[in-house]
Amino acid sequence: MSEYIKKDYNDLIIVPSSFSTIRSRKEINPYYKMGKGFHLPLITAPMDTVVDDVNDSLFILNKINICYPRGIKPKWNDGSCMQFESISLGEFENLIIEKNLISNSSDGKYYVCIDIANGHMNYLHDLIKSAKITFGSSIVIMAGNIANPETYKILSDCGADFVRVGIGNGNGCLTTEQTGIGYPSASLIKECYELSCVLKTPAKIIADGGINTYSDILKALALGADYVMMGSLFNRALESCGDTYFGPFKLNPQGRFASWLFDNGYTLKKKFRGMSTKEVQKKWGKDELTTSEGVTRIRKVDYKLHKWTENFTDYLRSNMSYCNSTNLK
């Protein structure tokens, strides 16, 4: 890619290897190993119309990592996938001051997402350094969001373990549209990946935002993302925790009746909202509401989570077979 011409997912296509030694997709491993378990290179966005403490077991069953919305404590993690607790910048600071770190995983570590929009702040970087000095490897930090490759380097050097890459291009976000801030996703991931190859302690790259299709996920991985974070695509699954409606009637999306209606071709609708909307600000108890950089939509339910995941895994294996790749690395 030219230094001056930046690309997004729609600008690119993946060219297959000139030859492939793979004879069957069964030879391909589309999972990362974690402890005794295996998980896909996917993680939920910390959105309250995607995942909560009721449907989280379904994501875990489908080998999808979880980043919980603020206010929800992860269940005890048996090591089958990653489960991040989302907290504010102020809560992260208090955690360091109070030195009260409680593991939320069987590996003895505390997995935390510092859930803020602007990962470019020096104050955040200083807090991450302090956390790593105080807690060492006992804390696993997800930071972001960023829209500048140099900030990925800064966060890696500070000790962040995962960096959310992307600002303003999510389906629930208006940041780029309203502020002009952003960076084309494909170029951003590629340039962060190139930096990761020369850094001493590179953070894992999480492609976050602008994922609309299976192929977008595969392009993000091919460009160098370790994981892809999604809200919109997971929200469109029947079992997501967004308010679910059959006409004027509100349903339990994990219930048998909702499942029966969907299986028999009835149209179900679901609420989806960005986490900077005024609705969410009120939910978090903010006294002063700021201008929203998010949207709220009602959308059609398109699939069940297990079927979407099955399709994704097959498409990932197929892609890897074309590219002569037997594992994600």
Separation in Å, CA 58 to CA 65, 104, 135, 238 = 11, 19, 31, 11
Q: Which residues contact 5 (CB under 8 A, 6 or more apart)?
A: none
How far is CA 269 from its chain centroid? 23
Separation in Å, CA 41 to CA 17, 59, 146, 294 = 22, 13, 20, 26
Which amino acid, residue 299? Answer: R
| CB-CB neighbours of 287 under 10 Å | 5
Q: How far apart are CA 231 and CA 288, in angstroms?
A: 26
Which amino acid, residue 163? Answer: V
Which amino acid, residue 48? Answer: D
Q: Given the residues 81, 113, 173, 241, select the one marked as catalytic.
A: 173
Active site residue 113: no
Residues annotated as catalytic are 173
